[in-house]
Amino acid sequence: MTVEELKELSQKEKARQQKFKYRILYCSAAGCVSCGSGSLKDIFKEAFKENSFDKKCELVGTGCMGLCGEGPLVKILPDGTLYKKVDASIVKKIVRDHLINQQIVQENVIELSHPFFASQQKIVLKNCGEINADSIEEYIASDGYGALAKVLTEQKPEEVIEEIRKSGLRGRGGAGYPTGLKWGIVRKAVSERKFVICNADEGDPGAFMDRSILEGDPHRILEGMAIAGYAAGASQGYIYVRAEYPLAIERLKTAIKLAERLGLLGNRIFESNFNFRVDLRIGAGAFVCGEETALLRSIEGRRGRPRPRPPYPSEKGLWGMPTLINNVETFANIAPIIIRSSEWFSKIGTPKSPGTKVFALAGQIKNTGLIEVPMGITLRKIVFDIGGGTPDGTEFKAVQTGGPSGGCIPIEHLDIQVDYEALATVGSMMGSGGMIVMDSTSKMVEVAKYFMEFSVDESCGKCIPCRVGTKHIHSLLHKISKKSATIEDIQLLEELCAMVKDTSLCGLGQSAPNPVFSTLRYFRHEYEKLLKPVENYVPSSKISNEK
């Protein structure tokens, strides 16, 4: 494949798409499939037959359209009308009224001016819900593989790294390490072989951004990885994806096969001297494997147990060779930065954390689903404007970010601007991007206990603070929730949490106490309410009132 051939293919696909009077996109991501979008194609075909209307329509199964709680979603192009909760009877109406008589079916329309859509800015999710994930031509028609062609024909690896560095892109896996810097370290490392790994082991419960990206736009990840391979000097890539995401695995397999067939992966890509291959590695349900050194072990076929860093994987990684590990969303940002320049990217978001972030909104919130917003947006805007607040007017209590490593943010801190630093100051973290809203029905001690149970279960058992400490934190929380604890137990809990945080080997243990810390910080009264009554004891809430 040459650059000209790529352009030709893109033109051809665009012309093909324009031939259709209507293109009917139906969401075929896991969320909508489970509300029945899988059968929509047949229902539409049947409705076409009934109304003897055909030939001018194309039915396209796409990735996630975002508003998962209202699925199955259907979008009609070229006018862009979006329909919610589409079932057989609505399909009939859409075909009869919209397609034949050009009358929009009002009762199921979603207004695109709604803040859920209007407040978003899509870079990573641009193709998600717009193209057929199983068609490489559709990806190419929306500028796909153009960035790879550009770097291979016009730029040196150092220039690519410089461009990514200037963009200010930070790792979207949670820690926020500057991506360009990481690439530079792997580039400089001297070794016969190097590797690029995409970390798609999205283990945080309540997070489904990576799954949606992989299911909706798998080629974007392959392209990002190939660019990273070129920049870092690696010729082999691995995608480590969870076994719990069978659809994402299928789509990635198809995407790799199609890219290899067109010569966009393999030897002498775009007739350069660059070779790059991507293989899949399927995880097996261990949360700790999201930690990079544990992930490396797992790819090597061993138990996923972390090891101390340094040496970092960028120096000594897979089989002891320099390895570049980035998250799915980080790779998804690469192609747009290359095509639209680092200046464009660095102007989005905040100066310290440029770009956008994809969040998965779930829990007690009206509009559940996937959103992409510029960094620096306030939590209040996300929860109340985009998310529509809590359902049925129940009272908002907290929003949980960062999964089992993060914390609960109460209403008084909702005006902070979302970026890596700000979330840390209120005792939570960016994490991978799960956001779970809790209302007054959630008991915070139970929530902390829930997360601690998770950490006890997922601790790999290598280091004692995490293996034993989390267990004891859990039993203390259990004691509190059973109303048999005293104030000393809370002090003990705090000490224990601090110890586990300071002395654990890897990120799992170090951040495992975070849910306890943050609930103690903001909802201490809920803990104290559950204590066994002690004589002469004054709860701290009373003391602060008297001051």
Partner 1 sequence: MEINTKTNIQPVIDPRFKLLDRSLTKHQNKGDALIEVLHAAQGIFGYLDDELLVYIAHKLKIPLSMIYGVATFYHYFRLKPVGEHTFVLCTGTACYVKGADEIQKVLEHRCNVKFGETTADKKVSLIAARCVGSCGLAPVAVLDEEVVGKLNTTDAITRVEQWIGK
Report in angstroms how near the CB of residue 11 gets to partner 1 at its nearest: 36
Report in angstroms how near the CB of residue 243 gets to partner 1 at its nearest: 5
Cα-Cα end-to-end distance for the chain: 74
Report in angstroms how near the CB of residue 37 gets to partner 1 at its nearest: 11
Angle, helices 218-232/157-167, rounded to nearest 10 degrees: 120
Check if the beta carbon of residue 384 is closer than 8 Å to that of residue 399.
no
Q: 246 by DSSP, 3-state: which? A: helix
**Residue whose CB is less far from partner 1, 438 or 505:** 438
From 211, 210, 282, 221, select the one nearest 432 (Cα to Cα).
210
User: CA-to-CA distance for 397 and 440, rounded, in angstroms?
Assistant: 6
What one-character DSSP code corresponds to residue 111? P
Q: Looking at beta carbons, which pairs linking 80-86 to residues 24 or more positions away fall under 8 Å?
A: 80/112, 81/109, 82/109, 82/110, 82/112, 83/108, 83/109, 83/110, 84/108, 84/109, 84/110, 86/26, 86/37, 86/40
SS3 content of the chain, % helix, strand, coil (to 5): 50, 15, 35
Report in angstroms how near the CB of residue 442 gets to partner 1 at its nearest: 6
The residue to which tokens 């792997």 are assigned = 186
User: Taking the mean position of all CA atoms in its chain, how far away is CA 110?
Assistant: 24
Looking at the chain, how many residues does it have?
547
**Residue whose CB is less far from partner 1, 16 or 302:** 302
Distances (CA, A) of 274 to 148, 340, 393: 11, 23, 57
User: Taking the mean position of all CA atoms in its chain, how far away is CA 447?
Assistant: 22
**Residue whose CB is less far from partner 1, 227 or 437:** 437
**Residue whose CB is less far from partner 1, 213 or 222:** 213
**Residue whose CB is less far from partner 1, 311 or 461:** 461
Report in angstroms how near the CB of residue 104 gets to partner 1 at its nearest: 25
**Residue whose CB is less far from partner 1, 161 or 383:** 383
User: CA-to-CA distance for 390 and 384, rounded, in angstroms?
Assistant: 8
**Residue whose CB is less far from partner 1, 394 or 484:** 394
User: CA-to-CA distance for 161 and 338, rounded, in angstroms?
Assistant: 10
Report in angstroms how near the CB of residue 305 gets to partner 1 at its nearest: 8
Report in angstroms how near the CB of residue 26 gets to partner 1 at its nearest: 16
**Residue whose CB is less far from partner 1, 161 or 437:** 437
Report in angstroms how near the CB of residue 108 gets to partner 1 at its nearest: 18
**Residue whose CB is less far from partner 1, 231 or 361:** 361
**Residue whose CB is less far from partner 1, 170 or 281:** 281
H helices within 203-242, ranges in order? Answer: 209-216, 218-232
Report in angstroms how near the CB of residue 222 gets to partner 1 at its nearest: 20
**Residue whose CB is less far from partner 1, 161 or 289:** 289
Cα angle: 232, vertex 233, 234; to 5 degrees: 100
Kindly state the greatest CA–CA separation across the chain.
83
Three-state SS across 312-359? CCCCCCHHHCCEEEEEHHHHHHHHHHHHHCHHHHHCCECCCCECEEEE
Angle, helices 209-216/328-340, rounded to nearest 10 degrees: 60
**Residue whose CB is less far from partner 1, 243 or 464:** 243
Report in angstroms how near the CB of residue 281 gets to partner 1 at its nearest: 7
Report in angstroms how near the CB of residue 362 gets to partner 1 at its nearest: 4
Residues in contact with partner 1 by the rule CB under 8 A:
30-31, 33-35, 68-69, 71, 202-208, 211, 243-245, 281-287, 298-304, 360-364, 368-370, 400, 403, 434, 436-438, 442, 450-451, 454, 460
User: CA-to-CA distance for 505 and 463, rounded, in angstroms?
Assistant: 6
The DSSP bridge pattern shows strands 323-327 and 195-200 to be parallel
Report in angstroms how near the CB of residue 205 gets to partner 1 at its nearest: 3
